[in-house]
């Protein structure tokens, strides 16, 4: 009796992204080494299997800014599948030791067209990335630098993802954190010390994030309330000094008018 394999065998997305094959290979990237650099041809896309990386851009005057952090399960360099292949708009660099699947542009386009299961996974990633970028923009426009720093630390610890979060985040400098939230290193240092004193984080070379850091994001005015000391004694007659000065001016004006 002869057995034959089914013609329409289900495509295994996980197996495809975990192994090398035609038009794809597994690469190892050491910390601080680039996957690709700004200005390189956008001829491939990477799937990060292990480790963490960051995406950054350099301005015409040489100033570097970190755009986002990437973790296992993310695609890197998705601009390569645009209608017309162009140049990289940013630099992707490993933060920790990384393993990634490098997929050539032609192979990526082929598998997206032929395998709907893979297209669905990639589309879900693009939608999540788009929502993350929108959230980053809202964060930058409307939130205080304290909240922006808290959010970055929580994202790096992967709070909110399925499973237990990795509370010990990858190594990152205060300069890099300052670039990401749009403030100075001294302000980041100030906030980090405050977070540590309040028990939200621990750090001694590496940063460990506790779930209680969510309080900074969830409660408006958290730091304003903790940063302002209440007066030791109430003002006389329940009025503040400013209120008394204002009433004195009004009384003087009334006397002049009479």
Q: In what order do the strands lie in the sheet with 75-76?
A: 24-29, 98-104, 44-50, 75-76
| 116-148 pLDDT, tens digit each | 999 999 999 999 888 888 887 887 777 788 888
pLDDT per position as a tens digit, 29-73: 999 999 999 999 999 999 999 998 989 998 888 888 888 888 899
155 is in which domain, residue-wise?
Answer: 143-228
| Secondary structure element (H or E) that encloses residue 64, with its range | strand 64-71
Under a CB-based contact definition with an 8 Å cutoff, are residues 201 and 213 in contact? Answer: yes
Contact by Cβ (8 Å): 57, 35: no
Q: Is residue 106 part of a domain?
A: yes
- Are 188 and 178 found together in one domain? yes
Same domain, 17 and 55: yes
| 129 and 184 share one domain | no
184, 125: one domain: no
- Statement to judge: residues 161 and 99 lie in one domain: no
- 65-122, pLDDT tens digit by residue? 888 888 899 999 999 998 677 899 999 999 889 999 999 999 999 999 999 999 999 9
Give the side-chain half-sphere CA count within 13 A for 13: 12
């Amino acid at each position: 009796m002869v057995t034959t394999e089914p013609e329409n065998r289900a495509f295994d997305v996980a197996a495809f992204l975990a192994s090398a094959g035609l038009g794809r290979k597994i690469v190892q990237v050491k910390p601080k080494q680039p996957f690709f650099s700004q200005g390189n041809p956008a001829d491939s896309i990477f799937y990060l299997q292990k480790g963490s990386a960051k995406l950054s851009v350099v301005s015409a005057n040489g100033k570097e800014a970190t755009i986002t952090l990437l973790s296992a399960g993310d695609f890197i360099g998705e601009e390569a599948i645009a209608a017309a292949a162009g140049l990289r708009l940013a630099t992707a660099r490993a933060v920790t030791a990384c393993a990634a699947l490098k997929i050539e542009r032609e192979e990526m386009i082929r598998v997206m067209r032929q395998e709907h299961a893979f297209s669905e996974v990639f589309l879900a990633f693009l939608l999540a990335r788009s929502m993350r970028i929108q959230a980053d923009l809202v964060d930058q426009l409307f939130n205080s630098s304290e909240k922006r720093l808290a959010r970055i630390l929580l994202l790096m610890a992967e709070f909110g993802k399925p499973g237990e979060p990795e509370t010990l985040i990858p190594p990152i400098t205060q300069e890099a954190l300052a670039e990401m939230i749009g403030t100075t290193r001294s302000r980041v240092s100030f906030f980090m010390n405050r977070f540590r004193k309040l028990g939200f984080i621990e750090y001694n070379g590496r940063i460990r994030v506790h779930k209680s850091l969510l309080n900074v994001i969830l409660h408006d005015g958290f730091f304003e309330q903790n940063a302002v000391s209440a007066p030791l004694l109430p003002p006389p007659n329940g009025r503040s000094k400013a209120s008394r000065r204002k009433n004195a001016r009004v009384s003087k004006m009334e006397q002049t008018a009479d």
